Every structure is written in C-alpha cells, then in structure tokens.
C-alpha cells in the first residue's frame, strides 16, 4: 500500500498538484467512473417529486419546478470513491440543506438523515455531514444537468465521505433521532465512510 500511495502522490507532484489532497489508498482520475447497484431508473419529471420527512415540524414534498425555484449554489470539491478513484475539482450546482431545513424545521432530536433513492436504495449520514457548507442536494455537475448514470435528476453530494454515501436518484430525506444502516452498510461497508481514515469496510 505504501508503494501504491507513493506512486500516486508522485504523479500528482509531476502535474503540479498538492499530493496531500489525495486520501490514503486513492489514485487520481479525470474520468468519472459509473458505479451503482441496480439499473438506471427511468424518470418522468412531470410526476417526479422529492420528500423531506421524519423528525421535522413540517413534512415537505416538492415537485421539480418547486425544487428548482429554491435558491441554488455552486461548489467545487474533490470526490473520492471507495473503489479507490478520486476526481479533483468537480463542480456541482444544487440546493443546500439549509434551504430545506428552513422549510421543514428539524426537531431538536434530529441527528441523522437517511437518503431514500429509487429502487429502494438508501444511504445514511449524520445530519451534520449534510449541513456542511460544501454539501448539496445536487442537480447539475460541471455546468451541465446530471447525466442519468450519475443520478439525474437529483442526487446527494456529500464530499466529506466516500461517494457511495452521496445517493443517486434521490427521492427523499428522512430525519431521525437514531442511525439506521443504509444499503451498502448492510453489506459490510463502513458506517462512517471517512476517507481520511480509510473507513471502507466495517469488518
């Protein structure tokens, strides 16, 4: 592993990039590999919606037009996949959690969020990860709408964790007082997924 990491770091130095941006065990790619469970779902925006529910004062359902009317922001971040690739300076556009929180008013006991996606996929995070300034509920990447393979029309984007936590094809955010393992966590992936600590697997 040390040799692999030193090679990856050396390539960054040769390109004039800061090698400390690359987490342990990762390599840099300019591509954006496509990885997910199941198939790419078909989406009809005329019937699509996203829901925020659970430990909130006011549950909320937004259709596509209502979501797009919310204030948006752009962020540029590095993303890191558990399969060891990293992609630097990826830009996203979307809605920050604070805009939804203002509408739903999370209850004091809300500490975790479960992302519900198409085909029954879920991912779990501490709410503070979604509250981070560089996290988004994203609908565009690199200046273009998300492609279907990367989660169109909506996905989570939480750059502080391995990217499987950033659920594609998002349909709901459930706030909870207690944590609940998501899809990949139930198959042995690490619950916390902190790439700085190489938290890939729970065993």
The percent of residues in the chain predicted with pLDDT above 70, rounded, is 97
- The answer to whether position 83 is within a domain reads no
- The answer to whether position 80 is within a domain reads no
Per-residue pLDDT band at 67 (split at 50, 70, 90): very high
- The answer to whether position 60 is within a domain reads yes
Q: What pLDDT score was predicted for residue 10?
A: 79
- The answer to whether position 65 is within a domain reads yes
- Whether the pLDDT of residue 4 is over 90: the answer is no
Average pLDDT, the chain: 94
Find where tokens 């630097």 sit. Answer: 88
- Whether the pLDDT of residue 203 is over 80: the answer is no
Distance between CA 68 and CA 137 in Å, rounded? 11
User: Could you tell me whether strands 112-117 and 60-63 are parallel, antiparallel, or unpaired per DSSP bridges?
Assistant: unpaired
Q: What pLDDT score was predicted for residue 9?
A: 78
- The answer to whether position 6 is within a domain reads no
- The answer to whether position 108 is within a domain reads yes
Q: What is the pLDDT of residues 109-138, one digit of tens each?
A: 999 999 999 999 999 999 999 999 999 999
Residue-by-residue DSSP string for 72-99: -EEEEEEEE-TTSEEEEEEEEEEE-HHH
Region of residue 143 (phi > 0: left; psi between -120 and 50: alpha; otherwise: beta): left
- Total structural domains within the chain: 1
- CATH number of the CATH domain containing 113: 3.90.420.10
- The answer to whether position 35 is within a domain reads no
* Domain extent at residue 106: 43-74+94-197
* Cβ neighbours of residue 66 closer than 8 Å, sequence gap 6 or more: none
Distance between CA 105 and CA 129 in Å, rounded? 17
- The answer to whether position 27 is within a domain reads no
């Amino acid at each position: 592993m040390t040799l692999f990491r030193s090679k990856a770091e050396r390539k960054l130095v040769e390109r004039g990039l800061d090698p400390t941006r690359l987490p342990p065990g990762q390599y840099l790619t300019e591509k954006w590999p496509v990885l997910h469970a199941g198939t790419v779902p078909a989406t009809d925006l005329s019937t699509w919606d996203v829901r925020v529910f659970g430990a909130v004062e006011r549950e909320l359902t937004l259709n596509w037009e209502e979501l797009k009317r919310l204030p948006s922001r752009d962020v540029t971040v590095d993303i890191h996949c558990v399969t060891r690739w990293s992609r630097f300076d990826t830009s996203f556009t979307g809605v920050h959690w604070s805009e939804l929180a203002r509408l739903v008013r999370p209850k004091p006991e809300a500490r975790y969020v479960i992302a519900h996606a198409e085909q029954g996929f879920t991912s779990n995070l501490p709410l503070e990860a979604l509250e981070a300034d560089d996290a988004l509920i994203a609908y565009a990447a690199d200046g273009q709408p998300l492609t279907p393979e990367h989660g169109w029309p909506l996905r989570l984007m939480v750059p502080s964790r391995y990217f499987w936590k950033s659920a594609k094809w998002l349909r709901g955010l459930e706030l909870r007082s207690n944590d609940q393992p998501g899809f990949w966590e139930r198959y042995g992936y690490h619950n916390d997924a902190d790439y700085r600590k190489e938290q890939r697997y729970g065993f």
